[in-house]
Structure 1
Amino acid sequence: MAINDLHHFLESYFTAHHCSILHNQDGMLTVQLTEKMDRALMNRPFYWHYIKKMGHPGDPKQLTLITDPEKRDGKHEWVHFGSPRLHQILNHLHANEKYTKLFEAKDTNQKAALFPWLVANIKISYQGKQKKDEMVSIGLHLVNGTMKVGMMEEMEDKSMQNSISDYCYTIAPIITLKSGFKRMETVLEDYVQNQPHDWAETSLKTMEEEINLLRHFYKGENEDNEIRKEMDEIKERHYPSIHFEVINGGVFYLAEQD
């Protein structure tokens, strides 16, 4: 159910932001950044301030990312779930492009219906002794209720645009966005429920061990505010929890499959 193809996610992200793909194979992706993406990802504000003040166009950097851990070479960035670069990219999407409305491009001279899909990329965060993030992409047909997991992969061959093509028209949704997100939440809860929970058991065990050690250290003393504060900090660090966060999404109007 998870988006395990991180390489494809990165490829789609940079392509959508008009960056040229220079190399794309064997778990390695090299892209030529645009000025906008260089400003967003490369943390060079003084360079861009100086270069613009001098009246020059600037020189956006190239970025090489490795998604296959066996290809790590020490020269380029290894990107994985939890890595700073991936968090930066997700935060960029979250801040700038959380919601959108797009239409499938159709070259036709006959009337063609486009159906609404609610599409969301959702981060599942597992919090405990160890932390792990997982990305899930879900699409919900807002007319007939069909739900697809891995929706971004489903759409990779489709051409999307901001305006509707000639001769096309949209079908009005029957399912509301609020109801749609509730359905997605139910699917995610079922998915999480069926995952192994040994990580949570380990977190609880560690939490109890640290609390017992603390009590032993303060044995014979009253549980004053300081002891309770330390216990609360232990629970905050280790008590297992799971959070869902919508990274981005929107309503995509798509033609029905033949």
Structure 2
Amino acid sequence: MAITNLHEFLQDYFTANQCELIFNEDGVLTVQLTEEMDRALMNRPFYWHYVKNTGYAGEPMKLTLITNPEKREEKGEWIHFGSPRLQQILNQLKQNEKVTKLFQKVKTNQNTPLYPWLVINLKVSYVGKQKKDEVFSLGLHLVSGIMKVEMMEIMQQVSLQMSISDYCYPISPLIKINSGYLRIQSVIDNYIENQTHEWAEESWKALDEEIQMLHHFYTEQTETMQEQKQKELIEIKKRYEPYISYEVINGGIFYLTEDAFA
């Protein structure tokens, strides 16, 4: 269920942002950025300010990202879960592309219904002594109630656009968006409940050890010492108490033909 293929995620990300994939082989991806993506990722505000003031169009950069560990010494930028570049991309998605509405591109000369899918990409964070993130992509058919996992991978075979194609018409959803989101969240809840959580047990154990050390250190009962002890106790709990949080990366409504994934 979790999206573990970082390379495919990057392909989808740059393709969805109209960036040309110049090279895509064996865990090495080179893309020609658009001006918008160059501004978002390459940290060149002075360059773009200069070219715009001089009347030039400007030249967006090419970017090579390497996801294959065996290729990390090649020319390009090694990217992995937890790397600053990936965090930048996730932040860009969060800030600028949180919600969208897209239609399948259809070439037809007869009336064709398009069915609404609610697609949610979300991150689940397991926080405690150590932190681990999982990214999920789920799609819910808002008429039939069918749900699919790894939705972004499935969507690779579908061409999308901002406007609806000629002769196509949208079907109104029977499931409201809020209700659909709760269904998706329920699937994630069930997934988490069925996992083993050794990470949480290790966090509780580390928390107990730290508290015992704190009690051992603060043996004096003066008011000042006890106040300092309480402050440190709060900090220890913040650092070690395990919890799980959800964060929606982005999502949207996608209107697709009945046989979009056939």
TM-score normalised over the length of structure 1: 0.95
1:95 and 2:95 are equivalent in the alignment = yes
Match of 1:137 in 2: 137
Give me the identity figure in percent: 60
Match of 2:68 in 1: 68
Match of 1:50 in 2: 50
Q: Deviations over 1:16-75 (max 9, x none)?
A: 112121211111111121221111001111222223233332232221111122322175
Q: Secondary structure at the match of 2:156?
A: coil
Structure 2 distance, partners of 1:47, 1:165, is: 38
Q: Secondary structure at the match of 1:234?
A: helix
Structure 1 distance, partners of 2:240, 2:44, is: 37
1:108 and 2:144 are equivalent in the alignment = no
Q: 1:103·1:162 contact (CA, 8 Å) conserved in 2?
A: yes
Q: Deviations over 1:119-150 (max 9, x none)?
A: 01111111111112211000001111101001
Structure 2 distance, partners of 1:16, 1:67, is: 19
Q: Secondary structure at the match of 1:169?
A: strand
User: What residue identity is the alignment partner of 2:165?
Assistant: S
Structure 2 distance, partners of 1:104, 1:72, is: 37
Q: Deviations over 1:73-124 (max 9, x none)?
A: 1753222222211111111111111111111111111111111110011111
Structure 1 distance, partners of 2:192, 2:82, is: 19
Structure 2 distance, partners of 1:69, 1:126, is: 25
Q: 1:34·1:60 contact (CA, 8 Å) conserved in 2?
A: yes
Q: 1:230 aligns with which of 207, 213, 232?
A: 232
User: What residue identity is the alignment partner of 2:83?
Assistant: S
Structure 2 distance, partners of 1:157, 1:74, is: 30
1:10 and 2:7 are equivalent in the alignment = no
Q: How does 1:1-258 map to 2 (within 5 A)?
A: 1-73=1-73, 75-221=75-221, 224-257=226-259
User: What residue identity is the alignment partner of 1:210?
Assistant: E
Distance 1:235 1:68, change over 3 A: same
Structure 1 distance, partners of 2:25, 2:214, is: 52
Structure 2 distance, partners of 1:217, 1:76, is: 50
Structure 2: 5+ residue stretches without partners: none
Q: Secondary structure at the match of 2:228?
A: helix
Q: Secondary structure at the match of 1:114?
A: strand
The count of aligned residue pairs is 258
User: Which aligned runs of 4 or more in structure 1 are off by greater than 4 angstroms?
Assistant: none
Structure 2 distance, partners of 1:4, 1:155, is: 16
User: What residue identity is the alignment partner of 1:177?
Assistant: I
Structure 2 distance, partners of 1:253, 1:226, is: 58
Deviation at 1:169, TM superposition (A): 1.4
Q: Secondary structure at the match of 1:156?
A: helix
Which stretch shifts more, 218-227 or 243-252? 218-227
Q: Secondary structure at the match of 2:233?
A: helix
Distance 1:137 1:50, change over 3 A: same
Q: Secondary structure at the match of 1:73?
A: coil
User: What residue identity is the alignment partner of 1:209?
Assistant: E
Structure 2 distance, partners of 1:56, 1:115, is: 44
The alignment yields a C-alpha RMSD, in angstroms, of: 1.5
Which stretch shifts more, 12-21 or 117-126? 12-21
Structure 1: 5+ residue stretches without partners: none
